[in-house]
């Protein structure tokens, strides 16, 4: 019997290996028991799903178990973006929400994300409580309660009403942009097209049809996966290209020249837009893997900056405690004030469009201006496949014997980051004030990630190689 552990954003597993109907039922019963223990049984549970293999069936299974435990369930009628489910949880004042998705992971994975009543991801202490209920109770099945307690609805309708209050869609429409939107075969399918194209913008959606295999590409909006978008933008002479990942909580952006905009620069541009054009105020939360350019922009505007461990649940915790304008991470996920404390790739994309409409400048121009003021970030990461069982032991071992210098630079400061059970990340800030090396063991995939920023691409690659040596891999 496989062990079920919630990582940085829920539980994920390989379909038909550990992600099975029996295990999903066990997780659903644990969630129902947690609901009951917290007196949430009278509140509703929102359930959505993405375009992965059998996601609709898995979602239906969770709904049946919850309903059999006398929990009222609102179940999505179609594949639905995670941020839409998150908004629905908050909007309906539900007790929580579930999304069947493995987000940006490859097609062999599926997973369960659990959202709290505020719409954001559950912190470690909550997921630990849920894990504590696993397999204490046999999953319930009661046909009468299932018929009574499950209602299927389209979550998108209320979400779009809310988005229209946050974004000046008319200004975007009046700009008459030519937009290429890449849904990467995921749950963001045609949402932007439905919002804008019938009103005047010309929106072309590529990879819009649901495909459980994602055409053999991980549905992650990073440069190596977005060649079709970059090609189509240039081919059409479009003003911009936008992409969302498998469950549409992340965004990627491409300029009219077909250049991929790094997530760090997207973060900095979104922060600038919200401060300068929208007049919003508040702090900035960034994960440890985000480049210094975001802190530089925040300092220019005299906004407080909070740095936290990788994983949006850590960003969410600070968004709930402090007055936060924007929170984001290196993996293209951004959350915003006046919304839900959760990543939203659709809203982020619309804010980018609103920015270029208000500024009356192309994304290329805005990117050039940003780089002229703050410099171009030099950054890279290595995703290292690591199937051995000692993956979560590597960072604690490194913490015990940290290096004094890396790549010829003195280690000025060391930050460590706690995972679900052990320290899973360590960041070495180097003496030049501009360079750092972060090493992290993923809790959701058999991967070690090594990240670095420095003064040049050559120096970044040198530091990444040093990271590999530190791990003795």
Query: Cβ atoms within 10 A of the Cβ of 201, count?
Result: 22
167-374 folds as: Alpha-D-Glucose-1,6-Bisphosphate; Chain A, domain 3 (3.40.120)
Two tokens, residue 85: 């489910």
**Cβ partners under 8 Å of residue 136, min gap 6:** 30, 33
Local structure of residue 283 (DSSP, 8 states): E
Q: Which strands, in side-by-side order, build the sheet including 109-115?
A: 11-14, 109-115, 96-100, 45-49, 73-76, 150-153
**Cβ partners under 8 Å of residue 257, min gap 6:** 234, 364
| Chosen CATH of 11-155 out of 3.40.120.10, 3.40.50.1110, 3.90.1150.10, 3.40.50.10860 | 3.40.120.10
Region of poorest pLDDT, from 6-20, 117-131, 266-280: 6-20
**Once rounded to an integer, what is the mean pLDDT over residues 168-194?**
91
Confidence of residue 1 (pLDDT cuts 50, 70, 90): low
Class of domain 378-471: alpha beta
Query: Cβ atoms within 10 A of the Cβ of 224, count?
Result: 9
167-374 matches 11-155 in CATH topology: yes
Domains of the chain by residue range: 11-155, 167-374, 378-471
Average pLDDT over the chain reads: 93
> What is the distance between the alpha carbons of residues 419 and 402, in angstroms, rounded to a whole number?
19
Percent of the chain beyond pLDDT 70?
98
To the question of pTM greater than 0.85 for the whole model, the response is yes
Structure-token match 């629905």, residue found: 88
String of DSSP letters for 387-403: -STTGGGHHHHHHHS--
Instruction: Give per-residue pLDDT as tens, 127-166.
Output: 889 999 999 999 999 999 999 999 999 999 999 999 999 9
Instruction: Give per-residue pLDDT as tens, 389-430.
Output: 788 788 888 888 899 999 899 999 999 988 767 788 899 999
pLDDT at 390: 80
Collapsing DSSP states into helix, strand and coil, what is residue 19? strand
Higher model confidence: residue 353 or residue 198? Answer: 353
> What is the distance between the alpha carbons of residues 1 and 18, in angstroms, rounded to a whole number?
8
| 8 pLDDT higher than 70 | no
């Amino acid at each position: 019997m496989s062990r079920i552990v919630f990582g940085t954003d829920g539980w994920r597993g390989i379909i038909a290996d550990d992600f099975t109907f029996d295990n999903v039922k066990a997780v659903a019963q644990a969630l129902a028991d947690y609901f009951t223990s917290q007196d949430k049984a009278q509140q509703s549970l929102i359930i959505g799903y993405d375009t992965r293999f059998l996601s609709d069936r898995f979602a239906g299974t969770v709904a049946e178990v919850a309903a059999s435990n006398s929990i009222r369930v609102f179940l999505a009628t179609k594949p639905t973006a995670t941020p839409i489910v998150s908004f629905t949880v908050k909007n309906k004042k539900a007790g929580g929400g579930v999304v069947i998705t493995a987000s940006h992971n490859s097609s062999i994975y599926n997973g369960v994300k659990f959202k709290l009543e505020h719409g954001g991801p559950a912190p470690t202490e909550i997921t630990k409580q849920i894990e504590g209920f696993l397999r204490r109770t046999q999953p319930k099945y009661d046909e009468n309660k299932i018929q009574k307690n499950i209602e299927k609805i389209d979550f998108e309708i209320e979400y779009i009403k809310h988005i229209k209050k946050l974004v000046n869609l008319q200004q975007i429409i009046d700009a008459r942009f030519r937009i290429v939107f890449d849904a990467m075969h995921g749950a963001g399918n045609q949402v932007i097209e439905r919002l804008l194209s019938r009103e005047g913008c010309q929106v072309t959606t590529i990879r819009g049809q649901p495909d459980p295999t994602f055409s053999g590409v991980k549905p992650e909006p990073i440069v190596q996966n977005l060649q079709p978008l970059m090609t189509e933008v240039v081919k059409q002479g479009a003003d911009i290209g936008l992409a969302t990942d498998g469950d549409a909580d992340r965004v990627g952006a491409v300029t009219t020249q077909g250049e991929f905009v790094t997530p760090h620069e997207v973060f900095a541009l979104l922060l600038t837009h919200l401060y300068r054009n929208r007049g919003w105020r508040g702090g900035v939360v960034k994960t440890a893997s985000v480049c210094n350019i975001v802190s530089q922009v925040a300092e220019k505007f005299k906004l407080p900056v909070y740095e936290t461990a990788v994983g949006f649940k850590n960003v969410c915790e600070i968004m709930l405690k402090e007055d936060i304008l924007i929170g984001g991470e290196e993996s293209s996920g951004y959350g915003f004030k006046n919304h839900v404390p959760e990543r939203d790739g659709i809203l982020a994309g619309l804010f980018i469009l609103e920015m270029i409409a208000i500024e009356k400048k192309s994304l290329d121009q805005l990117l050039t201006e940003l780089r002229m003021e703050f410099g171009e970030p030099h950054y890279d990461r290595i995703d290292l496949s690591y199937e051995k069982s000692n993956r979560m032991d590597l960072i604690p071992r490194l913490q015990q014997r940290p290096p004094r210098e890396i790549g010829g630079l003195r280690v000025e400061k060391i930050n460590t980051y706690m995972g679900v059970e052990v320290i899973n990340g360590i960041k070495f800030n180097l003496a030049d004030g501009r360079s750092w090396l972060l090493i992290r063991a993923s809790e959701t995939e058999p991967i070690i990630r090594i990240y670095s920023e420095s003064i040049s691409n050559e120096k970044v690659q040198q530091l990444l190689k040093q990271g590999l040596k530190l791990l003795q891999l």
